[in-house]
Amino acid sequence: MIIGMRMGIIMNEVISLLFSLFAGVLLGLFFFAGLWWTVRKIESSQHVALLFLSSLLLRTAIVVSGFYYILGDHWWHLFVGLPGFFIARSFVIRLTRLADQAENSLKAGSA
């Protein structure tokens, strides 16, 4: 009986940590994809500083709130959520490079 209860507690903690990792990845995707979108829009914006500052504040507020929610009462969830955040960073970098290369090849082909 006691072993079953301990296994249940361990499984709950593992699921909670996996949720923290997944939430960190989602927060990273939001933050870095939002940064990429902002940089792309700056070229055509008339209010560059306002666009950049508002984007920065919005992205940061959402990510900090998300990490605060992930932490709850367990500070060690941050050690699982932060790597997820940076995994998303490398994923967004790879995707944006591919998108930029595709855009450049389209421009070169039509010129």
pTM for this entry:
0.83
d(CA 111, CA 77): 51
Report domain extents, the chain: 25-94
DSSP tag of 77 = G
Q: Are 23 and 43 in contact (CB under 8 A)?
A: no
Q: Look up residue 92 and give its two tokens.
A: 């967004």
**One pLDDT digit (tens) per residue for the chain, 111 residues:** 566 667 777 788 889 889 999 999 999 999 999 999 999 999 899 999 999 999 999 999 999 999 998 877 788 888 889 999 999 999 999 998 988 888 777 777 765
